[in-house]
Amino acid sequence: MARRVASVSDYRALAKARLPHFLFEYLDGGSYDEITLRRNVEDLQKIALRQRVLRDVSRIDLSTELFGKRWAMPVGLGPVGLAGIYARRGEVQVARVAAAANVPFALSTVSGCSLGEVAASGHVPWYQLYFVKDRGFVADLIQRAKAAGCGALVLTVDLAVPGSRYRDSRAAGGGPRRMAQLLSRPQWLWDVAVHGRPLNLGNLEAIVGKGAPLSDFQSWIAANFDPSVSWADVQWVRNQWDGPLIIKGILDAEDALQATAARADAIVVSNHGGRQLDGVVSTAKALSRIVEAVAGQVPVLVDGGVRSGLDVVRMLALGADFVLLGRPWAYALAGAGGAGVAHMLKLIDAEMRVAMALTGTTRIAELNGDVIDRS
């Protein structure tokens, strides 16, 4: 790494310096005026913790069980689209890192590397699924995930239509403008554009073709994602998938109860990282009431606004069972490849340990509402 990295924000700076402008804006931005994108971060940072002293915190255990497996910590790498072009064969690198760190990794439907390529590396991820209008193709994706031995299916339900992303529109364009952005990032060009081919949507080759230009990515989503999707479609998926089914994109307590009724094995409280409906509540604000509504029927995972191990502790104290990272690992991948993702996870681990020691807790189960200062 060219500079000393001490935090996720440092990796964001590296990613901005390394990625072509349009690609960084896609990763970093949210929808409309990005109110929710900011709320996710700011509302979480406002959660005050109770500092406790003179407790034996010499042995801290971050390990957590989910779906019958013991993970190194209650942190996973959530699905991020196009990560395969943030670094050379990016999702393959991330799968290896996640396996070595013993944390889950969810491969996006719109990844650069296909599930087959990632699984062939020897590290089978969870698989994130979107609905497209061609249900036969969706069924085929489910069967591929089953055949690969994926540990969970992450059904994302908050993208019936894509949000309006001003940053993407401002950064878009072809011809000389796009070429200038590419030429200004020679390291990325050499590592990814030259040596990281093919640059495509690996899981969607059968439906969009191998030569589909990434510049058409958003227009393809708008044309092919299905606004008619309903809870009946969730049942359709449940009937085809007998492994753990995680429903991602829950922001309302009534929807959380619908998800449990649909036989989900877990839910993810998420507003798509502020990339869909702007102005909605942050995940930190939504989390507690959803946890209360679900009342322990299924594990509650959460993402959005997490930028440190301290933020992970805050989310767990608010009632989450597990926390998914999105932009943090993508920034690290773009800034320093797989080594960056591995280092980012070590930072999260270390920051969690400090936060737990200074709140007088030694096990994940102790991170509950008692840790929050409500004065």
Model confidence pLDDT, tens digit, residues 103-117:
999 999 999 999 999
What pLDDT is attached to residue 211? Answer: 57
Q: Which helix (H) or strand (E) holds 23?
A: helix 21-28
Q: Is the pLDDT of residue 29 over 80?
A: yes
Whether residue 203 is contained in a domain is answered as yes
CATH number at residue 271: 3.20.20.70
Residue 4 has pLDDT above 80, yes or no: yes
- What is the tens place of the pLDDT at every residue in 258-309? 999 999 999 999 999 999 999 999 999 999 999 999 999 999 999 999 999 9
| Per-residue pLDDT at 215 | 58
Query: Is residue 2 in some structural domain?
Result: no
Q: Please state, for a pLDDT cut of 70, what percent of the chain lies above it.
A: 95
Tokens 């400090």: give the residue: 354
pLDDT in tens, 161-205: 888 999 988 987 778 888 899 999 999 999 999 999 888 888 877
**How many domains are contained in the chain?**
1
For every residue of 277-311, DSSP letters joined together read STTPPPHHHHHHHHHHHHTTSS-EEE-SS--SHHH
In a domain, 238, yes or no: yes
Please check the confidence at residue 87 and state whether its pLDDT lies above 60: yes
Which positions are catalytic? 272
Helix, strand, coil percentages in the chain from 3-state DSSP, rounded to 5: 50, 10, 40
DSSP assignment of 207-235, as one string? HH-TT--GGGHHHHHHHHB-TT--HHHHH
153 Cα distance to chain centroid: 14
**81, pLDDT greater than 80:** yes
pLDDT on residue 365: 97
Return the amino acid letter for 162.
P
In a domain, residue 184? The reply is yes
Give the confidence band of 216 by pLDDT, cuts at 50, 70, 90.
low
pLDDT of res. 209: 61
pTM, to two decimals: 0.96
Rounded mean pLDDT of 86-90? 96
Confirm whether 3 is domain-assigned.
no
Cα 326 to Cα 341: distance, rounded to the nearest angstrom:
11
For residues 287 and 319, the answer to whether their CB atoms sit within 8 Å is yes
- Which range marks the domain in which residue 339 is found? 8-371
Please tell me the predicted confidence (pLDDT) of residue 224.
79
Task: Give residue-wise pLDDT tens across range 53-75.
Answer: 999 999 999 999 999 999 999 99
> Given CA atoms 254, 323, 319, 150 in this order, what sign does their dihedral have?
positive
Is residue 132 pLDDT above 90, yes or no? Answer: no
Residues 6+ apart with CB under 8 A from 89: 112, 113, 117, 196
How much is the pLDDT for 208? 67
* pLDDT band at residue 357 under the 50/70/90 scheme: very high
More confident position, 250 or 213: 250
Q: What percent of the chain has pLDDT over 90?
A: 82
Task: Write the pLDDT tens digit of every residue in 230-245.
Answer: 999 999 999 999 999 9
Q: What pLDDT, on the 0 to 100 scale, is given for residue 1? A: 46
| Residue linked to tokens 């957590």 | 64
Q: What integer pLDDT is reported at residue 201 of this predicted model?
A: 82
The pLDDT mean for the chain works out to 93
pLDDT band at 250 (very low <50, low <70, confident <90, very high): very high
Q: Is 1 contained in some domain? A: no
- Please state the rounded mean pLDDT for residues 327-332: 98
When pLDDT is cut at 50, 70 and 90, the band that residue 30 belongs to is very high
Residue 108: its pLDDT value, please? 95
213 pLDDT above the threshold of 60: no
- Which pLDDT belongs to residue 2? 47
Confidence of residue 222 (pLDDT cuts 50, 70, 90): confident
What confidence score (pLDDT) does residue 314 get?
98
